[in-house]
Structure 1
Amino acid sequence: MALRCLVAATVTLGAVQFAQAKTQLLVYTALEDEAMKPYKDAFEKANPDIEIRWVRDSTGAVTAKLLAEKNNPRADVVLGLAASSLTLLDLQGMLMPYSPKGFDSLTRKYSDANTPPHWVGMDVWGATVCYNRVEAEKRHLPKPTSWEDLTKPVYKGMIVMPSPVSSGTGYLDVTSWLQTFGKDKGWQYMDALDKNVAQYVHSGSKPCTLAGTGEFPIGISFEFRGHELQAQGAPIDLIFPKEGLGWDMEATGIMKTTRQPDAAKKLADFMASKEANEITAQWWAIVAYPGVAKKLSGIPDNYSELLVKNDFTWSAKNRDAILEDWQKRYGNKEQK
């Protein structure tokens, strides 16, 4: 009996020691909730000695948290954050240059231009208008085809969109309008659009969710959530405005101050792998690994051609000024 107890205690102690021996990686992310588990499960299966600990929030909140912690960083890796935000962190000298294993197999334009890169792209996401056919018919709303259409008086109070302060999708909307239309005309456009916006919410996916449930007939969002809701049977159409789509990339970067550089590099290696890109391709029409993306229902074949020119460095350098101006103009409609 004593021997059995001794063996059991030894096994238990060994299990505890094994668990304690795992390297803990603190990973800040803005990934959609349903995407977090597949990446974690696949990575930890291949690296059983490393455990991912997520800290998840919207893009704006994660970016603000990282900047606030600049002098006392906590995160080891930033994963699934907007490339525009990672560019901002890089301008602050916060990211570690690292070329992950297999990097040469990725589409080069979807990562940081430095050699070695300071962040590596995962996927492209672009602006999409979610339009509820049923609610629109009830309210006698025509189907818009352009950004300009959304400024028509018929849509007054019918639109919800993400706040650029808290949402990466909201920020790519604002910066794309400023870059595509020009500074003055971009703000004029947003002044006109604001007259029709009922509320600015703190999530890029929520406007499409609200359109899907019919709370608002039109939500300015991105294709991930629209595609998911369509698959669930929501009566929404995905509209890709003819002037072109603002876009950003989810990407991975290693914090220069990480205390677990070897484990962090292994996670960056995994995110650049074909396996990780195959996970990503479940939801995104454009991924970093060539030939992995597949046709997604509701996404046009010429999707990549609709993406407007996007200067991530400009977006990063002008972020504070743009958000300050935006809040002065429209912040009174932000979700509390």
Structure 2
Amino acid sequence: MKLTVKQLFAATFGLVLAASALAQKQQLVVYTALETDQLKAYQEAFNRVNPDIEIKWVRDSTGVITAKLLAEKANPQADVIMGVAATSLALFERNGMLEPYAPLNLDAIMPAYRDKKNPPAWFGMDVFGATVCFNTVEAKKKNLPTPTTWKDLTNPIYKGQVVMPNPASSGTGYLDVVSWLQLWGDDNGKGGGWKFMDALHENIGQYTHS
């Protein structure tokens, strides 16, 4: 099939417009510690409203994301920080790394879960609780009793059987440490919280990267 000059011009012009539209699509770089399976729902909801913006996710554990952002302070690469611990966000705010922003539903966010300034430098999106997950199948094989308190996990019978996120890199693991120190005390490294963690460490089989 032969095309006329007019048809060729129209086809070429159409390709130029398509290429221009693709070139104009903005990219939003989002650093996050949310789980990978959570990101799809956020992306789909965002793109329904902002179809011309492409999200580039940079996902890792809270500790790794925090260290990465601090290292990039002089040359920021992230446009948005989402789903990291409030302790990290407060650290970024003290370092002047956050631009204040007030979402439409700011009044619905309880004061305890947002920066006190208005507009806030950061605000929360969810709340986590720490708990023990107990594998009843493996416990039955090894004749292990069901723990009912945190301190039960320091029983020598669980030696090598306890797994927890590494608090040096994981926000979840750090949450555990902070919670134990609040429960049983810090006392400059000599309190009950540290004694509990020393005893728990004896039973840890693995510190995982989350």
* Both structures adopt the same fold (TM-score exceeding 0.5): yes
For 2:100 and 2:59, how far apart are their aligned partners in 1? Answer: 23
SS in 1 for 2:130: strand
Counterpart of 1:123? 126
Match of 1:28 among 10, 28, 31: 31
Match of 1:10 among 10, 13, 16: 13
Is 2:140 the partner of 1:137? yes
For 1:185 and 1:106, how far apart are their aligned partners in 2? Answer: 34
Please give the per-residue CA displacement for 1:298-326, whole angstroms capped at 9, x wherever unaligned: xxxxxxxxxxxxxxxxxxxxxxxxxxxxx
Counterpart of 1:190? 197
For 2:106 and 2:161, how far apart are their aligned partners in 1? Answer: 44
Please give the per-residue CA displacement for 1:64-116, whole angstroms capped at 9, x wherever unaligned: 00011111111111011111111111111111112112211333332222222
TM-score by length of 2: 0.92
For 1:108 and 1:77, how far apart are their aligned partners in 2? Answer: 22
TM-score by length of 1: 0.58
SS in 2 for 1:129: coil
Structure holding more strand per residue: 1
Shift of 1:177: 1.0
For 1:104 and 1:20, how far apart are their aligned partners in 2? Answer: 38
Amino acid corresponding to residue 199 of structure 1 in structure 2? Q
Higher-Rg member (1/2): 2
Shift of 1:12: 2.2
SS in 1 for 2:102: coil
Counterpart of 1:173? 176
Question: Root-mean-square deviation (CA), in Å?
Answer: 1.3
Shift of 1:58: 1.1
Please give the per-residue CA displacement for 1:171-192, whole angstroms capped at 9, x wherever unaligned: 1111111122111111100000
* Alignment gaps of 5+ in structure 2: none
Amino acid corresponding to residue 92 of structure 1 in structure 2? N
Counterpart of 1:113? 116
Amino acid corresponding to residue 119 of structure 1 in structure 2? W
Counterpart of 1:293? none
Counterpart of 1:200? 207
Please give the per-residue CA displacement for 1:29-76, whole angstroms capped at 9, x wherever unaligned: 111001111111111110123221111111111000001111111111
Please give the per-residue CA displacement for 1:118-151, whole angstroms capped at 9, x wherever unaligned: 1111111121211111111111111111111100
Q: How many residues align?
A: 203
Alignment of structure 1 residues 77-96 onto 2, 5 Å: 77-96=80-99
For 2:144 and 2:11, how far apart are their aligned partners in 1? Answer: 70
Counterpart of 1:39? 42
For 2:118 and 2:139, how far apart are their aligned partners in 1? Answer: 49
Amino acid corresponding to residue 134 of structure 1 in structure 2? V
Percent identity over the alignment is: 56
For 1:14 and 1:108, how far apart are their aligned partners in 2? Answer: 48
Counterpart of 1:224? none
Please give the per-residue CA displacement for 1:278-309, whole angstroms capped at 9, x wherever unaligned: xxxxxxxxxxxxxxxxxxxxxxxxxxxxxxxx
Amino acid corresponding to residue 192 of structure 2 in structure 1? K
Alignment of structure 1 residues 1-336 onto 2, 5 Å: 1-2=3-4, 3-183=6-186, 184-203=191-210
Shift of 1:15: 1.7
